[in-house]
Amino acid sequence: MTSALTGLMMLTGAAQAASGGTVILSQQECGYIMVNLGGGSQALLKLIRGEAPRPGDRVDSESALQVREFADFTNRRDQQEITVWVDMIDRSSHRALGRYGQYCN
């Protein structure tokens, strides 16, 4: 039953992902961050408030991520807080990487 509910949530775009990950791509000028959530999933996040973390930084959130919602993260490197808009969570990373390229190149 649980896996069926999780599958349904993923299909509707309301899937919750891990509450943290490692920054893969980040540019302050661009305003977008790509985070590896583990398990093959990546999140594309729009930076709303705070300084962009560096690639390799670990960021954590107290709540689960949801697509098209705001989220607050803490960067473990410097304990700085950032607020982001969760643009997308992609299980294959191809779509998230492509969209990052559109936004940041």
Query: Using one digit for the tens of pLDDT, what is the confidence trace for 27-78?
Result: 878 999 999 998 889 999 999 999 999 999 999 999 899 999 999 999 999 9
pTM of the model: 0.80
What pLDDT, in 10s, does the model give residues 67-103?
Answer: 999 999 999 999 999 999 999 999 987 899 999 999 9
Q: What residues have CB less than 8 Å from 42, skipping those under 6 apart?
A: 24, 34, 35, 36, 89, 90, 93, 96, 97
Whether residue 7 is predicted with pLDDT greater than 60 in this model: the reply is: no
